[in-house]
Chains A and B, each alone.
Chain A
Amino acid sequence: MVRQARTFPFQNCLPMRSLLRSLPLAALVAAVACNDTAPDAADTTGTGEATPGGTLVIASPAEPDMLIPGLTQSIGGRMATDMMFDRLAEIGDGLNWIGDEGFTPRLARRWSWAPDSLSIAFELDPRARWHDGTPVRASDVKFTFALHKDPAVASPIAALIANIDSVSVRDSLTAVVWFAKRGPEQFYEAVYQAPIMPEHVYGKDRAGIRGSAVARNPVGSGRFRFVRWDAGTRVELVSDTANYRGRALLDRVVWTLTPDPTAALARLTAGEADFIENVPADQAERVDAMVTLRVFPYDNLQYSFMAMNLRARKGGAAPHPVFGDVRVRRAMSMAVDRNAMLGNVFGRYGRRSYGPFPRGLAVADTTLPLPAFDTTAAAALLDSAGWLRGPDGVRRKGGRPLAFSILVPQASKPRMTYAVLLQEQFKRMGANVELETADFPTFLAKMGGRDFDATLQAFSIDPSPSGARQQFGSEAAIVGGSNPFMYANPTFDAHLDSALSSYQPARAKAHMRNAYQQLIADAPAIWLYDVLALAGAHERIRMASMRADEYWAHIADWYIPEDERLPRDRVGPGTAAAR
């Protein structure tokens, strides 16, 4: 459907002049309010061709912590560095992580496996240059992995590349990555986690790299290069016009940092921004009704669930008095109407969960049966577990009431709403439920100390399902481990191991199905929803596909047709005017 362009009645705000005429400061206010850089109305009569140019303005709440790939932990930092730094090869939109199927060349124009599969030789593209003009060399590949494996750097991805034993330089354009053991994820490990960094820029002070000047002035090899980062205000990248992969179609990408979601949305609707990655669900219909904007959900790798602590609070080894019993956990799963909650919180944009995975994951299986909403069966299950209703409606077992709290981060509006809805439904089942809200650091501290009964979680995962080992695996169910729910089942571990050692995607998916099925049967959590990723964009922005792990992966191929460009598209260091 083609939408007609529309001019806002107050687009250039002249009508305000008559309103202000009677006020003493009318002239000044009118001059101030009506600047000559107000965006023009979009013209959809153009050809819509993909010619280079234009500025994409993203209103984003996420300020980078630093701009070093692999070390940055903020989403803002990841976005910017992924656009400025190339990997050896890029994962495909299908997010296959087994072998090298679906991966496309980036800095490496080709690669070859050793006969024993314990090394891969990456042949670099001789045209590749760092943004300061220095050629990309195999020694840079060696440096990058050495940096992340250096204990003094304490890189967050160190554990993810632990299977990489070393990198050697065969010649200036050939880097050989050596692995400690064979496995289906070898290629993924070598290329996905660590974009390649220039040694001559980042090699001077490894231990102090986070606080160094280069942490805020990156030099990469991607199709965008760094221009500026004004703390708290904006981050600006510009197309690298001499890039070995060809210039980005956009001239500039500017993130205007907008911490408040209402203000971010106001920037989009006022035409100050072209894109926001998260339109609040309760505003989506209103925004979508605006003819110059559109709202659309996109896949991501986040999913949300209510996890139950299987052991006593605060690190105890004893089973949790309520959730230690699998019958209670299953009853709780059956007691909640997940579809109704989804509608209540997200309206028509909600995406229900199909299990312990987001639907964008390659091994996602949307046919797995989840516990059906059945309050009668749930009540019977609680009765059979010995939790019987007392005269006040609250269930008791051995004099102990069926009482627990749900820990929820107050900054997350969907999770806060879900917590209230869950509380209500559990109460109907005879459970006395309290909500335990906390600011984010306190929430994390309580998680780390296992100081919770139940908690609403939103997990963000990588394309490989190996993250399930850290999240639900027995080995991580230790004090200070990454599985604070203390779920442990050797059968689940075995299925997961089988999946992660399979070289055939179909077999890996079948094993993962078994693992997920076991997890669902053990019910350590209630699988609630796939985290809603609802983007809002101006219609003049023509977008390429949005990859589930990084929606920004193809931004270099987004474009703005020439006849739909605004004044802001015609200025900047990367524009035709500047050249």
Chain B
Amino acid sequence: MRRYLISRLAQTLVVVLFVTTASFVLVHLAPGDPFATEDWRVSEATRERWRAEFGLDQPLPQQYVRYVANLARGNLGYSFSHRRPVADAIGDALPRTLLLVGVGGALALLGGVALGLYQAVRRGRPLERAVSGVTLVAYSLPDFWVAILLLLVFANWLPVFPAGGVVDPVMYDYMGPWDRLVDRVRHLVLPAGTLALITAAGVARYQRSALLEVLGSDFLRTARAKGVSERAAVLRHALRNALLPVITLAGLLLPALVGGAVFVEKVFSWNGMGLLAVNAIASRDYPLVTASVAVGGIIVAVGSLLADVLYAVADPRLRDG
């Protein structure tokens, strides 16, 4: 297991290096200039000076070598658009995204597994068919559409939750500890709920299909013949076996959640990595784009690694062999 982990970490490092290099090259080759502006007052000479200030007048290979050298020293560079170190900008945004993706992902997995379980056990009943229809619709909906719908319904028409932000920007500092907690949760409900809604539907479909396959297995028939109740047979034996594909899915889910968070963060003004990366691309903030892609790559790689570990934990054959 230890050797396996070391090997996977090495693979992760290579992947991140590759992704960082690719994003560095691509973003520099994209048309546009970080210092281009519609402001007619800014002369070409001024823009040239700004480019030189950040070393953008150097040849691309030279810029890349300097970037990698800085990266090796733990320096992610300086953001043109935020006018501060990239590490600071990411340091602000990353915890927010991890919170959003963590809560959204956990809700999606719990809800998806529960729904899938219900669908498999109550297969063919009218309510199950209705639930299947709803999950299919939810699965098909675009992320941003769901986000805007929830925003309009729960922040506008029925103003029960805030329209955006991580906390109340005006009142938060003047709240007591309990009110602060409530405020944070209130702000988390819609964005995390959106992520959970669009992801849980997929998990439920996988879970249903895996359970249906397991429910007809010989070992379950034997368990029932030995007098194990149906409830125990499903929850203790069938569900554990049927979780394996869902664990694989959970690993793959992380990139989808991180991707979905981009739209969710924009709609709900949740200033996380997604919003940071989108704005960085829009302003051609090269160091920030490259660092955001690297961080995204690390999150995905870690998620995938975590899924492998969980898989081994859940399946004794893999753990022992």
Contact = CB atoms under 8 A, between A and B. Distances in A.
Contacts of A459: 40
Nearest to A568: B170
B35 to A, nearest CB: 10
A13 B158 contact: yes
A562 to B, nearest CB: 18
B32 A263 contact: no
B266 A259 contact: yes
A37 B168 contact: yes
A490 interface: no
Interface residues of B, number: 63
Contacts of B33: 441, 444-445, 448
Contact of A33 (B156, B161, B163): B161
A568 B171 contact: yes
A266 B275 contact: no
A177 B133 CA distance: 75
Nearest to B174: A571
Q: Do most interface residues of chain A lie in helix, strand or loop, or is the interface mixed?
A: mixed
A442 B83 contact: no
A480 B42 CA distance: 11
Q: Do most interface residues of chain B lie in helix, strand or loop, or is the interface mixed?
A: loop
A270 B165 CA distance: 14
B122 interface: no
A578 to B, nearest CB: 10
Contact of B46 (A13, A29, A154, A211): A154
Nearest to B284: A441
A11 B183 CA distance: 17
**Chain A, interface residues (CB within 8 Å), range:** 35 or more
Contacts of A482: 40, 43
A166 to B, nearest CB: 21
Contacts, number: 178
B40 A441 contact: no
B44 interface: yes
A270 B163 contact: yes
A132 interface: no
A491 interface: no
Contacts of A442: 30-32
Contacts of B256: none
A8 to B, nearest CB: 7
B32 A256 contact: no
B159 interface: yes
A262 to B, nearest CB: 6
B108 to A, nearest CB: 16
A269 B49 CA distance: 44
Nearest to B144: A260
Contacts of A233: 165-166, 169, 271
A32 B174 contact: no
Contacts of A29: 189
A444 B169 contact: no
Interface string B274-291: 011001001110000000
A272 interface: yes
Given A266-B151, A470-B40, A439 B32 contact: yes
Contacts of B38: 444, 458, 460
Interface of A: 8, 10-11, 13, 16, 29, 31-37, 55, 57, 65-66, 73, 151, 154-160, 210-211, 215-216, 230-234, 254, 256-260, 262-263, 266-267, 269-272, 438-442, 444-446, 448, 458-461, 467, 470-471, 480-482, 567-568, 571-572
The 8 closest A-B pairs by CB, nearest first: A441-B32, A232-B271, A444-B36, A266-B163, A234-B169, A154-B49, A571-B174, A480-B44
18 contacts: A11-B159, A33-B161, A33-B186, A65-B82, A154-B49, A215-B83, A232-B271, A232-B275, A233-B169, A258-B165, A263-B151, A266-B155, A266-B164, A272-B163, A441-B282, A444-B37, A460-B39, A568-B171
